[in-house]
């Protein structure tokens, strides 16, 4: 960039002052400069004192003061800083120059030409000549962006709703011996989700999900895995793919319908079709059957996600970050048969009947210097009833990214269940425990990829069986493109159904996920 020695009234070059600018506001050109920067949104200022890092002793203070207060063509970053020592490109400089030209043109058009000094006009004229090529390029980009925006607005699905989708196709099979009447062959499964995300105010969200799949029976069922209360995660059917065994089969089902909105510092959700895993017991490395582990056990704690069928339950949840600190409090209530007005032999239905769960969660997750949360510790308490089984449980959920490409995570749960019989036991009262621990390797071999390995025991109770079932799962999620991912996954189930008489089960899965 050629040095220009044309002076402003304050004795500082206009070139030096504008060159230090962040993206300008209130112009189409500013949109381009904002797109070039990670600090996206500029903040208008009317006084140089509003810029927290600009001081009267700074060499460009007088020039900045003039440009802000005389012409109003400087904006700060979202945190009200100016960052005058930050390097700028010729295109960013041209965007700032164009913003000042527009402001001065507005002043002249308003009949206030006497407020613009001849020296400033001469300087701007020479700057305009110096950056003619860049200004032409930026204006060409703006015209193209305006045309593209107009086209998208004319052809968009909705002014308030965005459509997104996910399709899972997988091949899986298993081998082993649990004494079940049938064994499994290699077979294929699929699931398609269509999400309609609607916002009326910009901060709220009405989420509607339609879901369909072809899998109605999964591998654990084929192996005769013992189960706990119907519709819950409790039991030994924990190595089934989370996206198979859909109640609706090949018929589209309303799989989610809830409304999220803000009340002060809390995010509140209400709806007739909600799921616990959206609000509690989340984990960055073991919580998404499309990205990480396929089995239900490693996705959620079986003692804390009780209402876990495809259509979830009716209820409400909140997420409250306490005074913008490292502590967050969450609460959830779900009724699995909230839409059922009459009692049945299996449950008494309704919003406050079986099945239901009420969960409270307290999270401690401090931010580091980069604003990230590499460590999170969550304490949970759940009270519920599923299939006439009363459940009280406590739990812990932890994750820690201790290196750039490595993290550990785990869950532990303990509690009590009351029902006769349950899981084949002769006693009405059980005190089960459950745990899992794993390692994740983000960006392994490729950015966006992730590998993971986890081991755990879904149901530890010496009154049930003569051994403890142990699950081991490994996966590698590889992004082929930004919209296609392939994941090989293997599982080993030792002592299935808490019985040493049952041989080890092997389950292999090749999962492909398309997102759009």
Domains of the chain: 14-155 (no CATH), 222-238+258-508 (2.40.160.10)
Taking residues 455-483, report their average pLDDT: 94
Q: Is the pLDDT of residue 193 over 80?
A: yes
Q: What is the pLDDT of residues 219-247, one digit of tens each?
A: 887 787 776 776 677 888 888 877 776 65
* Confidence at 422, pLDDT banded by 50, 70, 90: low
Taking residues 117-143, report their average pLDDT: 71
**CA 394 – CA 390 distance, rounded (Å):** 14
Judged by average pLDDT, the poorest of 103-107, 158-162, 281-285 is 103-107
Question: How high is the pLDDT of residue 347?
Answer: 57
Percent of the chain surpassing pLDDT 70: 78
pTM (predicted TM-score):
0.69
Question: How high is the pLDDT of residue 230?
Answer: 67
Q: Is the pLDDT of residue 490 over 90?
A: yes
- Exposure string for 101-139, b = 16+ CB within 10 A, e = fewer: bbbbeebeeeeeeeebeeebeebbeebeebbeebbeebe
Question: How high is the pLDDT of residue 137?
Answer: 77
Higher pLDDT, 437 or 464: 437
Taking residues 401-415, report their average pLDDT: 95
Higher pLDDT, 392 or 150: 392
Higher pLDDT, 72 or 508: 508
* Confidence at 425, pLDDT banded by 50, 70, 90: low
Taking residues 6-23, report their average pLDDT: 37
Judged by average pLDDT, the poorest of 78-92, 407-421, 428-442 is 78-92
Taking residues 350-356, report their average pLDDT: 82
Q: What is the pLDDT of residues 319-328, one digit of tens each?
A: 999 998 999 9
Question: How high is the pLDDT of residue 15?
Answer: 39
Taking residues 324-352, report their average pLDDT: 80
- Residues 328 and 291 sit within 8 Å (Cβ to Cβ): no
Question: How high is the pLDDT of residue 366?
Answer: 95
Looking at every residue in the chain, the average pLDDT score rounds to 80
Higher pLDDT, 490 or 108: 490
Is the N-terminal amide bond of 304 cis, ω within 30° of 0?
no
* Confidence at 185, pLDDT banded by 50, 70, 90: confident
Higher pLDDT, 419 or 294: 294
Q: Is the pLDDT of residue 17 over 50?
A: no
Give the residue carrying structure tokens 């532990």: 412
Is the N-terminal amide bond of 421 cis, ω within 30° of 0?
yes
Contacts from 30-36 at CB under 8 Å and sequence distance 24+?
A: 30/75, 30/95, 30/99, 31/142, 31/145, 32/91, 32/95, 32/138, 32/141, 32/142, 32/145, 33/91, 33/92, 33/95, 33/96, 36/89, 36/91, 36/92
Question: How high is the pLDDT of residue 7?
Answer: 31
Higher pLDDT, 162 or 131: 162
The full length of the chain comes to 516
Question: How high is the pLDDT of residue 277?
Answer: 93
Q: Is the pLDDT of residue 392 over 90?
A: yes
Q: Is the pLDDT of residue 278 over 80?
A: yes
Taking residues 416-444, report their average pLDDT: 81
Q: What is the pLDDT of residues 286-316, one digit of tens each?
A: 999 999 999 989 999 999 998 877 788 899 9
Q: What is the pLDDT of residues 108-121, one digit of tens each?
A: 777 665 666 677 77
Q: Is the pLDDT of residue 73 over 80?
A: no
State the pairing for strand pair 470-479/429-430: unpaired
Question: How high is the pLDDT of residue 274?
Answer: 94
Q: Is the pLDDT of residue 476 over 60?
A: yes
Q: Is the pLDDT of residue 131 over 60?
A: yes
- Residues 245 and 310 sit within 8 Å (Cβ to Cβ): no
* Confidence at 23, pLDDT banded by 50, 70, 90: very low
Higher pLDDT, 346 or 331: 331
Distances (CA, A) of 265 to 276, 319, 329, 498: 21, 9, 11, 45
Higher pLDDT, 83 or 19: 83
* Confidence at 5, pLDDT banded by 50, 70, 90: very low
Q: What is the pLDDT of residues 157-174, one digit of tens each?
A: 677 888 999 999 999 888
Q: 365: exposed, middle or buried (C-beta count within 10 Å: 0-12, 13-18, 19+)?
A: middle
| DSSP E strand boundaries for 253-388 | 253-263, 266-274, 313-321, 327-335, 356-364, 375-386
């Amino acid at each position: 960039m050629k040095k220009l020695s044309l002076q402003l009234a304050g004795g500082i070059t206009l070139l030096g002052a504008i060159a230090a600018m962040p993206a300008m506001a209130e112009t189409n050109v500013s949109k381009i400069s904002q797109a070039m920067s990670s600090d996206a949104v500029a903040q208008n200022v009317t006084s140089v004192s509003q810029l927290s890092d600009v001081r009267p002793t700074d060499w460009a203070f007088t020039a900045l003061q003039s440009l802000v207060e005389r012409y109003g063509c400087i904006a700060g970053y979202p945190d009200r800083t100016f960052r005058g020592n930050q390097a700028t490109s010729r295109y960013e400089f041209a965007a700032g120059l164009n913003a000042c030209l527009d402001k001065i043109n507005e002043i002249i058009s308003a009949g206030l030409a006497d407020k613009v000094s001849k020296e400033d006009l001469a300087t701007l004229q020479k700057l305009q000549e110096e950056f003619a090529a860049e200004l032409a390029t930026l204006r060409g980009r703006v015209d193209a962006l305006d045309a593209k925006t107009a086209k998208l607005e004319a052809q968009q699905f909705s002014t308030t709703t965005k459509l997104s989708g996910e399709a899972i196709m997988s091949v899986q099979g298993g081998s082993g011996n649990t004494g079940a009447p049938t064994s499994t062959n290699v077979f294929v499964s699929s699931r398609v989700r269509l999400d309609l995300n609607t916002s009326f105010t910009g901060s709220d969200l009405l989420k509607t999900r339609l879901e369909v799949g072809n899998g109605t029976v999964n591998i654990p069922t084929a192996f005769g895995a013992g189960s706990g209360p119907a519709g819950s995660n409790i039991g030994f059917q924990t190595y089934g793919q989370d996206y198979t065994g859909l109640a609706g089969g090949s018929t589209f089902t309303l799989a989610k319908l809830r409304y999220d909105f803000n009340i002060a510092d809390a995010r509140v959700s209400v709806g007739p079709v909600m799921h616990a895993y959206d609000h509690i017991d989340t984990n960055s490395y073991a919580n998404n059957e499309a990205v990480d582990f396929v089995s239900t056990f490693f996705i959620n704690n079986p003692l804390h996600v009780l209402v876990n069928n495809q259509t979830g339950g009716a209820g409400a949840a909140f997420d409250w970050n306490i005074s913008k600190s490292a502590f967050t409090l969450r609460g959830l209530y779900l009724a699995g048969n909230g839409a059922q007005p009459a009692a049945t032999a299996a449950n008494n239905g309704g919003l406050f009947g079986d099945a239901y769960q009420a969960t409270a969660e307290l999270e401690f997750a401090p931010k580091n210097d980069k604003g990230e949360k590499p460590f999170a510790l969550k304490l949970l308490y759940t009270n519920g009833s599923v299939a006439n089984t009363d459940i009280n449980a406590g739990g812990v959920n932890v994750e820690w990214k201790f290196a750039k490409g490595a993290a550990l995570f785990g869950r532990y749960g303990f509690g009590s269940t009351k029902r006769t019989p349950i899981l084949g036991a002769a006693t009405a009262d059980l005190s089960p425990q459950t745990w899992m621990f794993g390692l994740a390797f983000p960006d392994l071999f490729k950015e966006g990829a992730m590998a993971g390995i986890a081991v755990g025991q879904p149901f530890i109770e010496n009154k049930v069986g003569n051994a403890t079932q142990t699950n081991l799962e490994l996966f590698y999620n590889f992004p082929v493109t930004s919209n296609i991912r392939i994941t090989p996954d293997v599982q080993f189930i030792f002592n299935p159904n808490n019985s040493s008489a049952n041989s080890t089960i092997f389950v292999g899965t090749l999962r492909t996920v398309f997102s759009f």
